[in-house]
A and B are shown apart, each in its own frame.
Chain A
């Protein structure tokens, strides 16, 4: 087991190295002097000279990379000249909405998609199955921002049940926070539900043909117990894998959803940084999201043993 974790940890090093090299090269691939690009349009020549020295831009490129990666590993993600803050401060400020949105979305998705998928598989070929699969294709094809605006139009403008846009910090007023999380998380959850319902149905269908399911039925266990304890548990590994892969979708979707609902999160920060060509922030956000994505998938890999004791490493 520990052997396996160690091996998986070593395996992510080259992946993260490629990501780091790409993020590092981003700035060098941009036309123009990197120091001037970082400093932005309103920088003085002193500022540019200072940045050049700090990043060691006169040194050979591999030494620059060493300095840069050293800074990143020490948690020094650079300084945003556009926002006039360190990138770490910026990220801390913008973390809460994104984290809240992701968690709400995951919870909604899993608790909707998994039961739907199980139901569709159990009633394979029936109208329930067709409806679930139809919704799944539809959900996968509807762009997040289109869903977002449809929901805003119906629930916020037409019915007036929920606020249109904006964000209230969780510490300020919990109920208002929750109220403003409902539409964004449902918006973002729809793609995820489509994906998860599909994979849940497929994995359960595969498991339902197994002998032990027939045995469980023959013992006289109720359908619910057979589905939940025997089928779902054995289908958990592919479902978990897809939840992990789907994190990429979730991160991409957060960028869009935050823009639609005006949430001041990391996704919105990414867009603002691109619009103002604030490269230190773009680099840091991409690096951070990629690390999060890789680490979550690593944790999921490790968690397989919990769900399926047959898997031994």
Chain B
């Protein structure tokens, strides 16, 4: 075996190595303890959100003046539709309108996860398209990046507040108000990947043999953006959940009757000294959700995007 290996064998070996490396990165990500820990908590939250009506909850918007401001673990007596009395333990108490805090917190999981996931998906999708254009179309690059710089110069919470004040509050407007400040970060990321990848010899090779731009993007550019974008998406989701809670807490987010964690806390503000449970329970859920996503994001970054993980 003194002769060199035939080219074909070398090639297929290299390809096999490359694919297995790519696959092993994902396998590594899934086995990373941080990813597992965060993922399990998130999965639990997702289950809570989906199964909210079956977790011993009542209508989270039902107002009951007779049952106002009950401390946690109070046994409530109420009448069923046919008039027979029934008992229920309000494990997290009730708020100043007599609504069941436990039910509101459980249903609030739906709002927060919806906001987190939608903002992450929309911001990444928009950022990806704009970033690809900026990285690829020379004349548009300058204009797009100046606009992005300008948007990034406005502190994200203020930008979201400004947009909410224009659009009037609602779930959809809140989602878009949070998307806008997040998009520039995605655009910068995608653009930088495009600019690095297009200098690579294999991309220049592909260009020189006449590969159409669309194919080039699909085959060579996009796959390189996947890992950093997944990492970015997790952090975006965490930020979105916090900003939604802040907006609702300040009274300028989702309409107050909607059970979102921020709204429950906003409602509990005035009577906080006497009834801290209105703020503590949703606060714990909120902190847990964000913590889980951040821990998962850290784990994903360590495995999928080692260059980034060295930086921060």
Contacts and interface: CB of A to CB of B under 8 A. Distances in A.
Contacts of A290: 153-155, 158
A16 B147 CA distance: 10
Contact of B146 (A14, A138, A143, A279): A14
A146 B290 CA distance: 12
B265 A145 contact: yes
Interface in B71-90: none
Interface string B285-298: 01100110111001
Interface residues of A, number: 51
Contacts of B153: 15-16, 18-19, 290, 293-294
Given A19-B153, A256-B246, A286-B154, A164 B273 contact: yes
A29 B155 contact: no
B294 A137 contact: yes
Contact of A256 (B159, B166, B250): B250
B146 A252 contact: no
Contact of B286 (A19, A143, A152): A143
Contacts of B146: 14-15, 18
How would you classify the secondary structure of chain A's contact residues: helix, strand, loop or mixed? Answer: helix
B242 A199 contact: no
B203 interface: no
Contacts of A198: 312
Interface of B: 146-147, 149-151, 153-159, 161-162, 164-166, 238, 242, 245-246, 249-252, 265, 272-273, 276, 279-280, 283, 286-287, 290-291, 293-295, 298, 310-312
A145 B249 CA distance: 9
Nearest to B309: A202
Given A142-B291, A150-B280, 9 more contacts: A18-B153, A26-B166, A143-B246, A149-B279, A152-B272, A157-B276, A251-B158, A259-B249, A270-B158
A153 interface: yes
Contacts of B155: 247-249, 251-252, 289-290, 293
Contact of A143 (B149, B154, B287): B287
Contacts of B246: 143-145, 252, 255-256
Contacts of A164: 273
A18 B311 CA distance: 30
Nearest to B145: A14
A289 B159 CA distance: 11
Contact of A255 (B242, B250, B265, B276): B250
B157 A18 contact: no
A207 B273 CA distance: 48
Given A15-B146, A138-B291, A259-B250, A274 B161 contact: yes
8 contacts: A22-B151, A137-B298, A145-B283, A149-B276, A247-B155, A274-B161, A274-B165, A275-B252
A141 interface: yes
A271 interface: yes
Interface in A238-273: 247-249, 251-252, 255-256, 259, 270-271
Contacts of A149: 265, 272, 276, 279-280, 283
Contacts of B164: 274
Contact of B287 (A141, A247, A255, A275): A141
A18 B151 contact: yes
A193 interface: no
Nearest to A156: B273
A143 B273 contact: no
B149, B153, B166, B294 interface centre (most CB from chain A within 10 Å): B153
A157 B273 CA distance: 7
Contacts of B166: 26, 29-30
A196 B185 CA distance: 20
Contacts of B249: 145, 256, 259
A17 interface: yes
Contacts of B252: 271, 274-275
Contacts of A137: 291, 294-295, 298
Interface in A185-208: 198-199, 202
A277 interface: yes
Q: What 4 A-B pairs have minimum CB-CB distances, sorted nearest first? A: A18-B150, A252-B157, A141-B291, A146-B283
A282 interface: yes
A304 interface: no
A181 B147 CA distance: 37
Given A157-B273, A274-B165, A275-B251, A15 B291 contact: no
A140 interface: yes
A286 B181 CA distance: 14
B131 to A, nearest CB: 18
Contacts of B311: 202
Given A14-B150, A143-B287, A157-B273, A255 B294 contact: no
Interface string A18-56: 110111001001100000000000000000000000000
A238 B152 CA distance: 19
B96 to A, nearest CB: 16
B53 to A, nearest CB: 27
A138 B290 CA distance: 9
Contacts of B286: 143, 146
B291 to A, nearest CB: 4
B312 A199 contact: yes
Given A153-B276, A282-B162, A252 B290 contact: no
B149 to A, nearest CB: 5
A14 B147 CA distance: 8
Contact of A141 (B159, B238, B310, B312): B238
Contact of A14 (B149, B157, B276, B293): B149
Nearest to B241: A143
B306 to A, nearest CB: 14
